[in-house]
Amino acid sequence: MSASCSGPERTRSVGRGVNLLRAHWMVSLLAAGLLGATSWGALTPLPLAAPSASREEIFEIPKGTWARRMAGDPVEILPDEIHLTLGVKDVLVLRNLDDVPQIFGPTLMMPGQSFRLPFQVASSYPFTCTAHASGQLMVIVEPMPETPWARLRWRIESLLRGAI
């Protein structure tokens, strides 16, 4: 003779089952989302696919920077490291919008002048830069991520750096 559940016990059992299903459903949804995001990150081509997309990474010295520095404000414009990726963002653009000449990145720039430097080889490029306390700016040019894993890693790193 098989045992049968009484009314309240059966309700509790169904409730546990529903909770379990709900929890699994949430986990499944999360897993599916994660899988989808990972697949997108790994398989979707990088933005270079659009020929019109800009490959420039632009940095500007705002007007008044020199005056602020003279007033004791340690203005930081360039990060210590600039990360570029061949075929995606591989052109460094520096603009001096201030009223005085500035040594900005690798070069002395007059007011209103810009400097556009394309990179073609993946490597680390150290540049002297008086805008930094260390006196050096490092431009790290990475190869274009070709494999799904490399694309995924590139996207995660870019996301962590706030680049995308």
Q: Residue 131 or 152: which CB sits closer to other proteins?
A: 131
Measured CA to CA, the distance from residue 121 to residue 136 in angstroms comes to: 20
Q: Residue 88 or 109: which CB sits closer to other proteins?
A: 109
Q: Residue 41 or 106: which CB sits closer to other proteins?
A: 106
| CA nearest to 76, candidates 84, 85, 65 | 65
Q: Whole-number minimum distance, CB 48 to other proteins, in Å?
A: 15
Binding site for other proteins (CB under 8 A): 92, 103, 106-110, 112-118, 120-121, 123, 125, 128
Q: Whole-number minimum distance, CB 158 to other proteins, in Å?
A: 24
Q: Residue 104 or 154: which CB sits closer to other proteins?
A: 104
Ordered DSSP codes for 53-85: S--EEEEEE-TTHHHHHHTT-----S-SEEEEE
Phi/psi at 60 (5° precision): -130, 140
Q: Whole-number minimum distance, CB 92 to other proteins, in Å?
A: 8
β-strand 107-109 against 123-128: which pairing, if any?
unpaired
